[in-house]
């Protein structure tokens, strides 16, 4: 299978907990291309106090990597977004237009999905929450993002402890307009048994809009390949294609 779209990957060097060197970043992209990904979006962390990145810093880091990718036919197409930790600071940036949502690749004429006349197309924005507990008023914040023209794409919901206990805790977020992004490596136990069971349950409930690699190192691509095989075995080829190609393309406006 080919033509996959990866909406969550840490291939930009030295900006967060992803690859450490540009060569590692290029190698990660090469391996993801070999695993079937034709487009990979960089999503470095924006998390004050841990990864003090703002939009400008991430744009500069992306620009510094791009010359190393030029002319390489063995690499996927690349774009830039960010993984936004939804604290007060980052939430404020998002509603002020200072975050890094996913690019709307359909805005250049490549999409056949036009919004209704006079409507504004919502842009997907990758957000993450604390793994231990959801913040108070998180549903209201998701509503506020939607009002700002952003559709929250919740990173790796299967890795949140509240979801392990009862995945109906996600219902208010879905009601607010969010969609769920599977870290496919959860299916092969990368994050432990609880995350794996939660991922399998959410797959059975058809709760996910898309799946991704969340790769941080070149070696992660081997785990991703194994995980895609596990996904295909569990849900079948058509659903695997939806999660790794059609769903992500829809989020990008393609």
Residue 236 gets the label, from left (phi > 0), alpha (psi -120 to 50) or beta, of: left
Q: Which residues contact 196 (CB under 8 A, 6 or more apart)?
A: 158, 186, 187, 188, 189
Determine, yes or no, domain membership for 18. Answer: yes
- Report angle CA 44, 231, 175 to the nearest 5 degrees: 65
How many structural domains does the chain have? Answer: 1
Determine, yes or no, domain membership for 134. Answer: yes
Determine, yes or no, domain membership for 13. Answer: yes
Determine, yes or no, domain membership for 112. Answer: no
Residue pair 40/6 in contact (Cβ under 8 Å)? The answer is: yes
What six digits make up the tokens of 75?
Answer: 């690499």
The sign of the CA dihedral 236, 210, 203, 192 is positive
Determine, yes or no, domain membership for 56. Answer: yes
Cα 180 to chain centroid distance, Å, stands at: 9
Q: What is the pLDDT of residue 1?
A: 67
CA 183/CA 157 separation, integer angstroms: 8
Give phi and psi for 166, each to the nearest 5. Answer: -165, 110
CA 214/CA 221 separation, integer angstroms: 10
Determine, yes or no, domain membership for 115. Answer: no
**Whether pTM exceeds 0.75:** yes
Question: For position 97, which CATH number holds?
Answer: 3.20.20.140
CA 143/CA 197 separation, integer angstroms: 29
Determine, yes or no, domain membership for 211. Answer: yes
Residue pair 25/19 in contact (Cβ under 8 Å)? The answer is: yes
Q: What is the pLDDT of residues 15-34, one digit of tens each?
A: 999 999 999 999 999 999 99
Q: What size, in residues, is the chain? A: 254
Q: What is the pLDDT along the chain (254 residues), one digit of tens a residue?
A: 679 999 999 999 999 999 999 999 999 999 999 999 999 999 999 999 999 999 999 999 999 999 999 999 999 999 999 999 999 999 999 999 999 999 999 865 444 344 443 445 789 999 999 999 999 899 999 999 999 999 999 999 999 999 999 999 999 999 999 999 999 999 999 999 999 999 999 999 999 999 999 999 999 999 999 999 999 999 999 999 999 999 999 999 99
What six digits make up the tokens of 119?
Answer: 């409507």
Q: What is the pLDDT of residue 2?
A: 77
Determine, yes or no, domain membership for 223. Answer: yes
Domain that includes residue 175, residue range: 4-105+122-251
CA 122/CA 252 separation, integer angstroms: 10
């Amino acid at each position: 299978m080919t033509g996959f779209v990866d909406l969550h990957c840490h291939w930009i060097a030295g900006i967060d907990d992803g690859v450490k060197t540009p060569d590692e970043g290029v190698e990660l992209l090469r391996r993801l291309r070999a695993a079937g990904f034709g487009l990979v979006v960089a999503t470095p962390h924006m998390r004050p106090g841990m990864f003090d990145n703002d939009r400008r810093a991430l744009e500069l880091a992306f620009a510094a990597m791009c010359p190393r990718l030029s002319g390489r036919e063995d690499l996927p197409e690349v774009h830039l977004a960010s993984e936004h930790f939804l604290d007060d600071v980052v939430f404020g940036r998002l509603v002020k237009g200072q975050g890094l949502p996913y690019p709307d690749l359909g805005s250049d004429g490549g999409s056949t999905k036009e919004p209704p006349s006079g409507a504004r197309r919502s842009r997907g924005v990758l957000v993450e929450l604390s793994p231990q507990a959801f913040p108070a008023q998180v549903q209201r914040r998701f509503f506020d993002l939607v009002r700002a023209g952003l559709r929250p794409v919740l990173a790796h919901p299967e890795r949140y402890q509240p979801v392990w206990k009862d995945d109906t805790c996600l219902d208010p977020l879905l009601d607010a307009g969010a969609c769920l992004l599977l870290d496919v490596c959860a299916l092969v136990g990368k994050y432990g048994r609880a995350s794996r069971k939660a991922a399998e349950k959410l797959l059975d409930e058809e709760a996910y809009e898309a799946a991704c690699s969340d790769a941080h190192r070149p070696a992660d691509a081997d785990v991703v390949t194994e995980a895609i095989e596990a996904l295909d075995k569990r849900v079948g080829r058509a659903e695997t294609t939806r999660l790794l190609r059609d769903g992500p393309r829809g989020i990008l406006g393609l």
